């Protein structure tokens, strides 16, 4: 073999070694590329799954947001409706307040007129009280004598006789007061106007009783006597108040009419204005002595 052949053999060997090295390198590169490709595919699959999950969550979040917006819009609509209703109610209340203010103005005017009328009636009552006081002063001597007599009797007899004696005196005083009032009316000295429907209708028999209960607002009163004593609906009784401890403070209150009568009690209503509100313990009688 010549030197050239040896060189060619050597070059062929070197070339074979180089080609083998390249083959090995390409094989190794392919192996690494496949593994990297598989890893990349796995990573892509994970990313795709994550993307789908995120997309589902985004869709759900969008739906939740749309639902919340719809709910908020519905609540806003309800609030607007409530606001409109409140405004309408406020307008109605303002109108009602204006009407109430007008009504209050009218009632104040009526109250002023009533106060004037009450003052006139109080002046009339004051005149009547002065007349009654003068008559009571004239009977102080008889009252003292009756008081001494009551002290010498039993408690029950004292109370009964005191009521009878004081009733007689008070009725006599009231008759005198009625005559004085008649004289005052005849001379034009009284401003009291008679009320319609005040005609008296006493029972045919003498009747006496007490006020058991009295309503200060309506003036209605319950009496301790009823149909068993001869009372019927429409009868009238005289109402007065006795004060055994201070007879000069006894007073005539006015006339009452029977509205309902039961066996043992009756309901009565004042005729006209009373001199004072009725109270439990006030007395009623069918007529004043001499009438």
- Tens of pLDDT, residue by residue over 107-136, are 888 888 888 888 888 888 888 888 888 887
In a domain, 290, yes or no: no
- Answer yes or no: is pLDDT of 97 > 70: yes
In a domain, 280, yes or no: yes
143 and 281 belong to one structural domain: yes
Rounded distance between C-alpha atoms, residue 259 and residue 232, angstroms: 8
83 and 150 belong to one structural domain: no
In a domain, 132, yes or no: no
Is residue 161 within 8 Å of 149, Cβ to Cβ?
yes
pLDDT tens digits, one per residue of 206-220: 899 999 999 988 889
Q: What is the CATH number of the domain that holds 157?
A: 2.40.10.410
178 and 57 belong to one structural domain: no
- Answer yes or no: is pLDDT of 158 > 60: no
- pLDDT the model gives residue 288: 66
Please state, for a pLDDT cut of 70, what percent of the chain lies above it: 79
In a domain, 214, yes or no: yes
In a domain, 131, yes or no: no
pLDDT higher at 157 or 127: 127
Q: Using alpha carbons only, what angle is made at residue 152 by residues 147 and 158, rounded to the nearest 5 degrees?
A: 60
In a domain, 154, yes or no: yes
In a domain, 204, yes or no: yes
156 and 279 belong to one structural domain: yes
- pLDDT the model gives residue 257: 95
53 and 80 belong to one structural domain: yes
91 and 171 belong to one structural domain: no
The mean pLDDT value for 133-154 works out to: 67
Number of domains forming the structure of the chain: 2
153 and 253 belong to one structural domain: yes
Residue 225 structural domain = 139-190+199-285
260 and 158 belong to one structural domain: yes
5 and 89 belong to one structural domain: yes
In a domain, 134, yes or no: no
Quick one: CA torsion of 47, 52, 53, 58, rounded to 10 degrees? Answer: 120
110 and 233 belong to one structural domain: no
Quick count: other Cβ atoms within 10 Å of Cβ 202?
17
84 and 149 belong to one structural domain: no
User: pLDDT band at 153, cuts 50/70/90?
Assistant: very low
168 and 47 belong to one structural domain: no
- pLDDT the model gives residue 239: 93
């Amino acid at each position: 073999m010549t030197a050239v052949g040896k060189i060619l053999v050597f070059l062929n060997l070197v070339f074979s070694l180089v080609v083998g090295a390249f083959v090995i390198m390409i094989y190794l590169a392919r192996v690494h590329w496949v593994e990297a490709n598989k890893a990349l595919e796995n990573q892509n699959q994970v990313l795709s799954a994550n993307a789908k999950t995120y997309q589902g969550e985004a869709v759900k979040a969008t739906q939740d947001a749309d639902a919340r917006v719809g709910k908020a819009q519905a609540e806003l609509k309800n609030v607007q409706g409530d606001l409109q209703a409140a405004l309408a109610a406020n307008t109605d209340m303002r109108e009602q307040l204006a009407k109430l203010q007008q009504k209050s103005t009218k009632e104040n005017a009526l109250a002023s007129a009533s106060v004037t009328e009450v003052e006139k009636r109080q002046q009339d009552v004051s005149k009547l009280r002065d007349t009654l006081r003068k008559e009571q002063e004239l009977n102080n001597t008889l009252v003292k004598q009756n008081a001494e007599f009551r002290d010498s009797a039993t408690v029950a007899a004292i109370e009964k006789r005191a009521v009878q004696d004081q009733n007689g005196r008070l009725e006599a005083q009231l008759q005198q007061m009625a005559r004085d009032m008649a004289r005052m009316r005849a001379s034009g000295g009284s401003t009291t106007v008679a009320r319609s429907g005040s005609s008296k209708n006493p029972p045919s028999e003498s009747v006496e009783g007490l006020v058991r209960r009295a309503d200060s607002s309506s003036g209605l009163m319950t009496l301790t006597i009823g149909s068993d004593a001869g009372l019927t609906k429409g009868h009238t009784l005289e109402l007065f108040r006795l004060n055994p401890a201070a007879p000069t403070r006894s007073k005539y209150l006015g006339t009452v009419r029977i509205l309902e009568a039961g066996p043992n009690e009756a309901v009565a209503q004042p005729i006209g204005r009373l001199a004072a509100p009725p109270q439990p313990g006030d007395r009623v009688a069918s007529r004043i002595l001499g009438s």
